Amino acid sequence: MIAENLLTLLVVLPFLGAVLAATMPDEARDALAAAAAMTMLAMLGVLFALQGWVAEGGTVASSVRWLDSLGLNLRFRIDGFSWLMMVIVAGIGLMVVIYARYYMGPQEAFSRFYALILAFTGAMSGVLMSGNIILLAVSWELTSVVSFLLISYWHQRPEARRGARVALSVTVAGGLCLLVAMLMLGHVAGSYELDVVLASGAQVQAHPLYPTILTLTLLAAFTKSAQVPFHFWLPNAMAAPTPVSAYLHSATMVKAGVFLLVRFFPVLGGTEPWFIVVVGTGMITMTLGGIVALIKQDLKGLLAYSTISHLGLITALAGIGSPAAIVAAIFHIVNHAVFKASLFMAAGIVDHETGTRDMRRLSGLRHWMPETTVLAVVAAAAMAGVPLLNGFLSKEMFFEAATAWNNDSLLDAALPYIATFASMFSVAYSLRFIHTVFFGPRATDLPKMPPHEPPAAMRRPLELLVLICLGVGIFPQLLLGGVLRDAALAVLGEATPEFSLKLWHGFNVPLMMSLAAFIAGTLIYVLGRSWLNSRAGDEAGPGRFEALLAYEWVIQAVTVTMPRRLHALTTATSLQGQLLAVVLIAIAAAVAVIPGTVWWPSSPVFGLPESVFAMLWGLGALCAVGTAWQAKYHRFAALVMLSGVGLMTVMSFAWLSAPDLAVTQLVVEITTTILLLLGLRWLPQRNADIPGDNDWPSRARRSRDLVIAIIGGGGMAAISYAVMAAPSVPSVGDWFLRNAYGEGGGTNVVNVILTDFRAFDTLGEIVVLGIVALTVFALLRRFRPAPESAHPPKPQEGDVSLEDMIFVPALLMRWMFPVTVMLAAYFFLRGHDLPGGGFAAGVTLAIGLTLQYIATDVRWIEARMVVLPIRWIAFGVCLAAVVGCGSWLFGYPFLTAHAQYVTFPIVGRVPAATAMVFDLGVFAVVLGSVTLIVISIAHQSLRVGGHRSRPPADIAAAQAADIAAARAAAKQEAEPAA
Amino acid sequence: MTLILALAIGVLIGSGLWLLLRPRTFQVICGLQLLSYGVNLFIFGVGRPVVGAPPVMQKAGFVDPSAYADPVPQALVLTAIVISFATTALFLVVLLAARGATGTDHVDGRERRP
C-alpha cells in the first residue's frame, strides 16, 4: 500500500509543482527555481524510497478507475527500467532547473518557464510509468504539446515559432500512429494493461495485424527520437532556451522513442523485420547525424546532430535485440543523458558569456573561462568515448553487440564496419567542439568582450554531471551495476545476462574498433579543420537536409495548395448557384424513392369541414404565391401576405388537435413580423426597376426557377399526401402517451416530452437560442447602415406627426402590458397539464415588452423599466442546467425530473414538478433572447439623427449616455407631479 | 383534409423554393419563412393529424394512444418553430449588416455583372 501511494505521489508531484509555479509571479525567480528544484528533489526522494520494491524484477502498480467500459484506467506502474528512466528525468530535471535560474535573463517569463518544465516532467513521468497503453499514448502526446510550448518559449522569434510548429507536427503525427498502434495492440492482446500486453509477445507476433502494429509503433518511436528521415525537427527545436534543449531535446523527451523500442521489445521485437528496419534506421541515423554534426557551425546545431547520431546508436542496439545489446541500450540512454546534458549546459554558458554560438567566431575561451573549459573537455571526451569516462563503456558494449550477434544477413555482416565508420565522426566532432571553441588564439570579435566565468551556481549542475561521467566511467559496477541489472530484468526477465560492468576487457575486437575510430576521427579533424572552419554558415550548406524541404513541401501541399484547389473546385462564388445545387440534389434524391411508393393510399373524404378548410388554404395559397410575387418590389405587401400564411398555419394547427403548436406559432408569428418590419427600414428603397431585370437572361433564369419551384412544390404535395393518407403505424409517440402522466407527471404530453423525456434536447435548443441572440446583439453593436438609410424617415402624410398618429394605439398598447404579463404567467403555469409552457410564455412576455417599445420609444421605455435580456438568458441557462444537475444529488441521471402535486390554500392542487423549474429556465432564455434580438434592432434607430457624425465605436457609449440622460429627465418629470 | 393539407404544403414549398432562388436578400428571407411553414406542416402531418382529438389526457387509467394526436411530431415542430425564429432573426441581422457593408441587398454582396 505504501508503495502504491508513493507511486501516485510521484505522478501527482510534478503537476502540483506546475500549478504552483504557474500561479507565482515572474519576479519571484528564486522562489520559482526553489519550488521547481524542491519538486524534483521530492521526486528523487520518492524514487529512492521505491527502489527496494522495484529491485530484482519487482513492479509496483496503482490503479484509479476511469473509463472502465473502454478499458482505459489511470493505471501507473513502475519497474526497474522505468525507475531508472525516472531517476534520469528527475535528476537531470533538478540540474536543469538550477541552471536555468542563472541562464534566463531577469526579464524572462519565469513562471511560465518553470510551470512548463514541471508539466513536462509530469507528462514524461506519464510516458514512463503508464500501466495502460492508451494512457501511454495520451502522455506521449502531452509531452509533444509541452515541448511545443517550450520550444516556442521565445514566441516573439520567428525561428522559435517555426521550430515549435515543425516539432509539433512531426511528433504529434507520430503520437497518432502510436495511439492507433496501441489500440490494435490492445485488441490483439485482449487488454490495454501494459503487464498483459508485455506478456503476450508470441500471440501478437503471430497475428496478421503484427506488421501494421510494428510499422505504426516504429513510426512513433522514430519521430519522437528524431531518426532519419524524421530527424529534421530536432535541430529546428534548438530555437528553445538551452535548458530546454538540455532537458527535453537531449536527455529525456527524445529518449521516449528509444524507451518505447526497449519497452516493447519483448512484444514486438526479435523478428526479422524488426531487426532490418530498426537496426538499419539506427545505423543510417547514427552515420548521417555524425557527418552533419561535424560540418555544423552552430554549437547547439552540432550538439543536436550529435544527439541524433547517439539516438541512432541506441535505436540500433534496440534493433539488434540480444540481451547484451538491450543492456547496452539502457546503459547508453543513461550515459548519453548525463554527458549530453552537461555539454548543452556548457554550450549555454558559452552562449551566455560570449553572446554567440558560431564556432567560426569562438576561439581560445580557455584563457577566460578555464573551469568551464575543463568541464566541457571531460564531457566531450565522454561523448567521443574516451576511456575512464562513461561514454567509453557503453560504446564498447555497442561495438561488442555489433560484432557478436549473427543472423547471417548482409546488414549484420556490415554492422561492425558501419559502427566504426560512424564512430569516427563522433570522435571528430567532439574534437572540433573542444578545439575550436576553447583552444587556439583568443577570439577578438565576440559580441561580449571579454568573456568571463559564469556565476558559480550556474556551473554547479555541470560539475555534478561531469563528476557522474567520471564516476560511472571509473567505478561502473559500483555505481550503476545494480540498478542497470534491475532495469534489464524488467525488460528481459529471465533472459537477463549475467554481466559485470568493467573498465578493462583485454585487447579485444571492440577495443580495436575504438582505437581505429579514434585515429581516423582525429585524422578527419586535423585534415579537414581549415575547410570546416572556413565553410559558410549552416543556412546554405547541407545542414538543411532535404527531409526538411520535403516536410515543408508536404505541409504546404496539405494545408495550403490542396485545400485551395479543393475549395476552388467545390465552391461556387454565388449563393444562388449553391442554393440551386442544394435544391436540385434534394429533388434528385426524392426522385430516387418514386418507385415503390403508393401515391394514392386512400381516397379523400369531402364534407363541410373540408370545404371550410379548403377555403382557408385557398386564401393561404394566394398569400404564399402573392408573397413570392411581391417580395422584390413591394416588401411591405409581401410581409403582410407572409403573416397571412402564418395565420393559416396557426389555424391549421388549432384545427388539427395541436393547440400547443397553435399557441407557439401564433406568438412567434407576431414576433417574426415585428422583427421583419423593423428590418425593412434598413433595406434599400426600391422605386424603380432594377436595371437589367427584364432582359432575356433574367427572364430565362426566372422561368427556370419557376419550373424548379413547380416540380419541387408538386413533388412535395405528392409525398405529403402519400405519407399522410397512408394508415398510421405504431410509433415511439405511443410510448410517450402511455407514460407521460405516470413518469412525467403531466397530462400535456408535448410539454412533458420537451421538459422531461427529451429535456436534454431542449436544454441544447435554448442554449442555441441564447447564442443566436448574443450573436445578433454582437453583430449589431458594430452595425453600419448604408448611407442612404442613415437618416430618419420622413412622415408620409404632410402635417400629422408620428406622435399624433400613434397616440391612441400607444395608449392601448400600454394598457395591454399587464394583460400580456398575466397571459404569459397563465401560459407558463398551465404548461405541464394544458397547452402552454415556457416557450409560449416567454415569447408572449417578450411581445408585451416589444409593444411597449413600439408604443413609445427606446429612451422613454428604458428610462422607466429595467430591461436586462442578457442576464435573463444567463439566468435561464444556469437554472435549467442546475435543475438538471440536481437529479445527480438523488442518484439519477442528468435532467431526471420529479413530479408531484402540491395543495395551496384557496388555489387548490397545483402541479409541482421539477420539470416546471426547468421550464422556468426555458421561459427566461426565450424571453431574454427574443427581447434581446428585437430591442437590438430597435436600438439602431438611435443611430440616426444626432449620432451620425460620431464614429461607430462611440455609439454604444453614446447610447448608454443617452439612456442615462433620459432617465434623469424622466425623474425630473415625475418629481413635480409628485 | 389530408389532400388539402398536402396541396397547401406543395404551394408553400413551391413559393418558398422560388423565393429561395431569387437574388434579393429579402426575397430569400421570405422564402425561408415559407419553406419553414411548409416543412413544419409536413412534419406535423407525418403524425397523421386528426380533427377533434383531445389534446390533453385524463389523469389516470389506461391510455389508448390511437385516441390522441401523435405528440412526437408536435414536440419536434414546437422546437422547429423556435429555432426557425432564431435563424430568421440571425439572417435578418446578417442581411442588414451585409447591406450596410456592401451597399447592395443582392445575396452575393454585389450586383450581377451586366
pLDDT of residue A946: 44
* Cβ–Cβ contact B32 with A under 8 A: no
Write out the three cell numbers for A287.
552515420
pLDDT at A913 over 50: yes
**Is B107 within the bounds of a domain?**
no
Residue B73 within a domain: yes
pLDDT band at A84, cuts 50/70/90?
very high
The arithmetic mean of pLDDT across residues A336-361, rounded, is 92
Residues in B closer than 8 angstroms to A664, CB to CB, are 78, 81-82
Q: What is the pLDDT, as a whole number, of residue A537? A: 64
Contact B105 A684 (CB under 8 A): yes
In this structure, which long-range contacts are made by residues B106-113, counting pairs with CB atoms below 8 Å and at least 24 apart in sequence?
B106/B23, B106/B24, B106/B25, B107/A574, B107/A575, B107/A576, B107/B23, B107/B24, B107/B25, B107/B28, B108/A573, B108/A574, B108/A575, B108/A576, B108/B23, B112/A692, B112/B23
Residue A756 distance to chain B (closest CA, Å) = 12
Residue-averaged pLDDT of chain A: 87
Distance CA A126, CA A131 (A): 9
Query: Which pLDDT score is estimated for A977?
Result: 43
Lowest mean pLDDT of A644-653, A865-874, A893-902, name the range: A893-902
Provide the pLDDT for residue A906: 65
Q: What is the pTM of this model?
A: 0.67
Task: Give me the mean pLDDT over the A863-885 stretch.
Answer: 89
Cell numbers representing residue A29 in the block: 525567480
Q: Does A477 touch chain B (CB under 8 A)?
A: no
Looking at residue A627, its pLDDT comes to 93
User: What pLDDT is stored for residue A976 in this prediction?
Assistant: 46
| pLDDT above 90: percentage of residues in chain A | 54
For the cut 60, the answer to whether the pLDDT of residue A125 exceeds it is: yes
Nearest to A110 by CA among A153, A77, A146: A153
pLDDT, tens only, A442-473: 888 888 888 888 999 899 999 999 999 999 99
Share of chain A above pLDDT 70, in %: 92
Residue in chain A closest to B31 (alpha carbons) equals A628
User: Which of B6, B71, B85 is closest, CB to CB, to A717?
Assistant: B6
What CATH number does the domain containing B18 carry?
A: 1.10.287
Would B110 be classed as within a structural domain?
no
Residue B61 within a domain: no
- In contact, A459 and A349? CB cutoff 8 Å: yes
Is B105 close to A632, i.e. CB distance below 8 A? no
Phi, psi for residue A909 in degrees, rounded to 5: -75, 125
Answer whether B37 sits within 8 Å of A655, measured CB to CB: no
Dihedral of alpha carbons A133, A138, A142, A145, sign: positive
Give mean pLDDT, residues A804-818. Answer: 87
pLDDT band at B103 (very low <50, low <70, confident <90, very high): confident
In the predicted model, what is the mean pLDDT of residues A245-250? 93
**Cα–Cα distance for residue pair A416/A403, rounded to 1 Å:** 5
Residue indicated by cell numbers 510534478: A14
Q: Is the Cβ–Cβ distance between A388 and A474 less than 8 Å? A: yes
Considering only CA atoms, give the Rg of chain B.
19
Find cell 413600439 and name the residue: A854
User: Rounded to whole angstroms, how far apart are CA atoms B5 and B3?
Assistant: 5
Cell numbers of A152, please? 516556442
Residue A972 banded pLDDT, cuts 50, 70, 90? low
The verdict on residue B25 lying in a domain is yes
CA nearest neighbour of A909 among A900, A922, A917: A900
Interface test with A, best of B27, B39, B72, B95 (most A CBs within 10 A): B72
Return the pLDDT at A286: 95
Domain with B92, as residue range(s), is 2-49+68-102
Model pLDDT for residues A382-406, shown as the tens digit of each residue? 999 999 999 999 999 999 988 886 6
Q: Is B61 on the interface with A (CB under 8 A)?
A: no
Residue at B63 is within a domain: no
pLDDT of amino acid A246: 94
What is the pLDDT averaged over residues A618-641? Answer: 93
Mean pLDDT, rounded, for A545-572: 82
Displacement of CA A749 from its chain's centroid (Å): 42
CA of A682, closest CA in chain B: separation in Å? 7
* Whether pLDDT at B25 is above 60: yes
Element of type H or E holding A747: none
Using only the alpha carbons of chain A, give its radius of gyration: 39
Concatenated DSSP letters for A150-200?
Answer: HHTTSTTSHHHHHHHHHHHHHHHHHHHHHHHHHHHHHHHHT--BHHHHHT-
Q: Which of B25, B28, B32, B33 to mutate to test the interface with A (most CBs of A within 10 A)?
A: B33
Residues in B closer than 8 angstroms to A933, CB to CB, are: 89, 93
Phi, psi (deg, nearest 5) at residue A72: -110, 110
pLDDT in tens, A706-744: 999 999 999 999 999 988 888 877 777 777 777 777 666
In this complex, the residue of B5, B27, B37 whose CB is nearest that of residue A632 is B27
With bands split at pLDDT 50, 70 and 90, how would you rate the model's confidence at A330?
very high
**What confidence score (pLDDT) does residue A957 get?**
59
Per residue in A63-77, pLDDT tens? 887 777 777 788 999
CA gap A305, A446 in Å, rounded = 25
User: If you write DSSP's letter for every residue of A225-293 in order, what string do you get?
Assistant: TT-TTSTTHHHHGGGS-HHHHHIIIIISTTHHHHHHHHHTHHHH-SSHHHIIIIIHHHHHHHHHHHHHH
pLDDT score of A438 more than 80: yes
- Chain A CB within 8 Å of residue B24 CB: yes
| Mean pLDDT of the region B19-41 | 93
Q: What is the ipTM of this complex?
A: 0.94
pLDDT exceeds cutoff 60 at A952: no
Tally of CB atoms within 10 A around A59: 18
Task: Point out the least confidently predicted range of A64-68, A484-488, A824-828.
Answer: A64-68
The pLDDT tens digits for A146-199 are 999 999 999 999 889 989 999 999 999 999 999 999 999 999 998 999 999 999
pLDDT score, position A673: 93
Please tell me what DSSP assigns to residue B65: G
B-contacting residues of A 838-857, CB under 8 Å?
839
CA distance A682 to A677: 10
Mapping DSSP onto H, E and C, the string for A580-634 reads: HHHHHHHHHHHHCCCCCCCCCCCCCCCCHHHHHHHHHHHHHHHHHHHHHHHCCCC
DSSP designation for A685: P
Least confident residue range of A231-235, A505-509, A929-933? A505-509
Would you state the pLDDT for residue A543? 46
**Which of A57-66, A188-197, A245-254, A917-926 has the lowest average pLDDT?**
A57-66
Q: What is d(CA A273, CA A281) in angstroms, rounded to the nearest whole number?
A: 12
Q: How confident is the model at residue A78, as a pLDDT? A: 94
Q: Does the beta carbon of A731 lie under 8 angstroms from any beta carbon of chain B?
A: yes
The domain tally of chain B equals 1
Pair A212, A184: CB distance under 8 Å: yes
Whether B28 is covered by a domain: the verdict is yes
Confidence of residue A948 (pLDDT cuts 50, 70, 90): very low
CB contact under 8 A, A655 and B51: yes
Here the cell at position A372 is: 568551464
DSSP single-letter state for residue A695: S
Q: State the pLDDT at residue A146.
A: 96
Please give the pLDDT value at position B61. Answer: 58
Q: Do A716 and B10 touch (CB under 8 A)?
A: yes
Which residue in the set A617, A706, A768 is minimally distant from B8, CB to CB?
A: A617
- In angstroms, the CA A652 to CA A654 distance is 5
Q: A957 vs chain B: nearest CA distance in angstroms?
A: 20
B105 has a chain A CB within 8 A of its CB: yes
Does residue B109 fall inside a structural domain?
A: no
- Band the pLDDT of A835: cuts 50, 70, 90: confident
